[in-house]
Amino acid sequence: MTTALTNSGTAEAIPGTERNRDRKRNPGGLLARARRSYADHWYAWAMVLPVVAVLAVLVGYPLGRGIFLSFTDANEANIGRTIGDFEVPATYRFIGFDNYWNILSGREGSFYPRLSWTVVWTASCVLLHYTIGLGLAMLLNRRVRGRSLYRVLLILPWAVPPFVAAFAWKLMYNTDNGVLNALLAKAGVGAVDWLGDPLVQKVSVVAVNTWLGVPFMMVALLGGLQSIPRELHEAAEMDGASAWQRFRNVTLPGLRPVSGTVVLLGTIWTFNMFPIIYLVIGQAGGTESEILVTYAYRLAFQGVRDYAGSASYGIVILSLLLVFSVFYRRLLGRQEVAR
């Protein structure tokens, strides 16, 4: 037992020291460790408990319900409901992995074309977000007159709710009365069917999402630029490095931690960007312009209302993003180790 000398010279045991050593020698099972953690940090558990409860209600239950429905043949006809005082029982049945097999095997016929467009949509938007955001961040990182005003103006698109931006851009894309076609007419160019042609539809929604997403990238990368010590740039300049060499060897490596995080977040958000695709193109758009989440919504709330198929699409989307996130973080970790 660990002892300590008191003022009177007598030896006394230090409370808890021997107990802590016993804990390290015999950590016990998971339940025992949880009990000790609760006993030592009960206040932290008490503060986290409301958040856990809210997440369980708002996230855990819908996710669990969706996973359950994905293994059934639930639709509007057999889901069960209450009509007045009369209750219609649910008659859907468990069918195992049939929904997933129909999706992944291509039997359904719509998964892989929409997955390809979703990947192109996500990659295009994130690339434009990052490159334009980085360019604007580097401009705002300089000492220019009115820099604060420019920052506020460039952040405004990020402050606009996505559905408001979607309707505003839809009005500008109007073939007959839109601002864009009016400007083209003054320039002597014919009107463009922005929301009618499938290819132009895709370009249009990429432009809208780029306008919305650039401010976030700009703000995040501007913070990363300001965290890079100026001494590094000055030392590289004194060594004769050109502007491009300083950007490649000083700026980009310094932005790597921030870039990894914002690219991952931007990918997840863009992959699931429902309002832009659905509200800008609307019902007039063909199925070629749908991404996975808008198709999953259409399955659940239009036509036969295939709840099981929609839930299966949701779980597949979640799985794809989880796999991408894990591999992306591992890739960044390997790059950090290589440095």
Superfamily of domain 109-338: MetI-like (1.10.3720.10)
Instruction: Please say whether the beta carbons of 311 and 70 come within 8 A.
Output: yes
State residue 283's pLDDT score: 62
Task: Report the number of secondary-structure helices (H) and strands (E) in the chain.
Answer: 16, 4
273, 279 contact by CB (below 8 A): no
* The pLDDT value given to residue 267: 94
- For the whole model, what pTM was predicted? 0.80
C-alpha to C-alpha distance for 247 and 115, rounded to whole angstroms: 35
Go through 306-320 and write b for each residue having 16 or more CB atoms within 10 A of its CB, e for each that does not.
bbbbbbbbbbbbeee
**Of how many residues is the chain composed?**
339
> Average pLDDT per run of 10 along the chain, which is 339 residues long?
46 48 54 78 83 88 91 87 76 90 84 92 95 91 77 82 88 88 87 84 92 91 88 85 87 88 92 90 70 90 87 94 91 73
For residue 80, is it left (φ>0), alpha (ψ between -120 and 50) or beta? left
DSSP character for 284?
G
C-alpha angle 7-9-15 in degrees, rounded to nearest 5: 75
